[in-house]
Amino acid sequence: MAIGAGSLFFSPVNDPGFWLVKSYLGAEMRGTFRTWSMETVISVVGLVFVLIGSRFL
Q: Would you write out the chain's pLDDT as a tens digit for each of its 57 residues? A: 888 888 877 777 677 888 888 888 888 888 888 877 888 888 889 999 999 999 988
* pLDDT score recorded for residue 52: 94
* pLDDT score recorded for residue 49: 93
* pLDDT score recorded for residue 50: 93
How many helices (H) does the chain have, and how many strands (E)?
3, 0
For the entire predicted model, the pTM comes to 0.65
**Non-local CB neighbours of 19 within 8 Å, separated by 6+ positions:** none
Helix, strand or coil, per DSSP, at residue 8? coil
Nearest residue to 40 (alpha-carbon basis) of 16, 5, 14, 13? 5
